Amino acid sequence: MHSSSLRGHDFTLTASQGAVTHQQWFQGFQNTERVGLVAPNGYDGVGAVNLVMAYVTAFYDTYRATGEKFYAYPDFYSFQYCQPVAEYTDFDIWPEHKNVAVAGGAVEMLDAINDRGITVLLVPDREPTNPTYFKAQLESARRIVKQCYAYTFAGQVDGADLLIETTNRSLVEWADSVFDLPSAADEAVWQERRAWWRTHVASSPRLVQAYRLIQFEEALTLL
């Protein structure tokens, strides 16, 4: 709950139609929404820290609106093909079991997403594939998933629909913690990615990340 200190004014949002407030973008958000962050290599999800934390802030806003004390964590998850998994605890993806190791490929990934009732899906913008999903599996996902975004490790996507900026350095620190090496991980790769992140992204006083709203069918090709 450390991120419950964040407020909407910590984020500057620009949509395709122009500037919007955090409250406007998340109008109608309910604290039962379930965000799923697909981070195949473990560390990829740092490219979506602004979006995830904006959703986390919307979650806590629903509690703050009641004026009552609360102790709650959002039902947000990360899904990774690596094992052991990277920890997204500082994204308030907690307890640890919400960082999910997926064995297999896209079909198994969609099973994991369905099993947790994900309503908002964040997927890496990468070379698409054409997996063969099961019909019942697809129908389950279509019933539940309401919105999909594409993101990249670098924080920039072609055809962006949403730009989120922040000068709150806490988000940079929380993202950097994802690179804390899981046991049995390829240390050279992880340290190279961390060095790139620190040099090209974290060094800026303003963390700027772009996202593209995509249809569910496109998201299926990016799992």
Which pLDDT tens digit goes with each residue over 151-178?
999 999 999 999 999 999 999 999 999 9
Q: Rounded distance, CA 104 to CA 160, Å?
A: 30
Q: What is the pLDDT of residue 187?
A: 83
Name the domain count of the chain: 1
In this predicted model, what pLDDT tens digit does every residue of 10-65 receive, in sequence order? 999 999 999 999 999 999 999 999 999 999 999 999 999 999 999 999 999 999 98
Name the residue range of residue 83's domain. Answer: 2-213
220 lies in some domain: no
99 lies in some domain: yes
**Residue type at 81?**
Y
Asked whether the predicted pLDDT for residue 183 surpasses 80, the reply is: no
Q: What is the pLDDT of residue 217?
A: 98
Asked whether the predicted pLDDT for residue 1 surpasses 60, the reply is: no
196 lies in some domain: yes
Are the beta carbons of 78 and 37 closer than 8 angstroms? yes
Are the beta carbons of 118 and 100 closer than 8 angstroms? no
Q: What is the pLDDT of residue 182?
A: 74
222 lies in some domain: no
Q: Rounded distance, CA 140 to CA 115, Å?
A: 9
223 lies in some domain: no
Structure-model confidence comparison of residues 210 and 4, the more confident one: 210
221 lies in some domain: no
141 lies in some domain: yes
- Alpha carbon of residue 202 to chain centroid: 17
23 lies in some domain: yes
Cross-strand partners of 162: 15, 211
